[in-house]
Amino acid sequence: MMLNTLKECPYYLISRVGLLVTAALKKEFASSGVGQVKPAYLCVLMSLWQADGLKVIELSKKAGLEPSTMTGLLDRMERDDLVARTADLTDRRVLRINLTKTGRQVRDPVLKVVERVITEVFDGIPQEDISQTKNLLRHVLTNAHEENI
């Protein structure tokens, strides 16, 4: 394996692209009227837009994050008026995470920003290559026995 230079290391490349996209999303959210949305909120929002009222543990499984990480994420999202925690009537250990009105309203502009940023980031790269890379990444997650892939 070639590891003489950083740019030969796939971990370095993946990390840097991740930071790059995060920075681009943050900037575009801020300048597109959805400044309360942070890149890290995306995995929660996209899950809830599909199925509102999920449990914390369900959200963390879908996002691939630890429940303890989800706690802080939801704190900030609640502060930013995107979600609300509500008690589960049948199991008092459980909190249901519900979208607020704002959380539902930002859906279209947020998805537009994500599509625009991803399009710009992958500008000039054939769609087939992007698909192949996504398959490879999904394969990696499967290798690691990750759920929800």
Partner DNA sequence: GCACAATATTTCGTATACGTATAATCCGTA
Partner DNA sequence: TACGGATTATACGTATACGAAATATTGTGC
Contact residue for DNA among 30, 52, 76, 111 (CB under 7 A) = 76
Q: Which is nearer to DNA, 88 or 129 (CB)?
A: 88
Distance, CA of 36 to CA of 46 (rounded, Å): 15
Binding of residue 17 to DNA (CB under 7 A): no
CA angle 123, 3, 140 (to 5 degrees): 60
Q: Which listed option, DNA, a copy of itself, none, makes contact with residue 108 (CB within 5 to 8 Å by class)? A: none
DSSP 4: S
Is there a contact between 106 and 82 (Cβ–Cβ < 8 Å)? yes
Containing H/E element for 108?
Answer: helix 107-121
Q: Which residues bind a copy of itself (CB under 8 A)?
A: 1, 3-22, 24-25, 39, 42-43, 46-47, 50, 62-64, 111, 114-115, 118-125, 129-130, 132-134, 136-141, 143-144, 146, 148-149
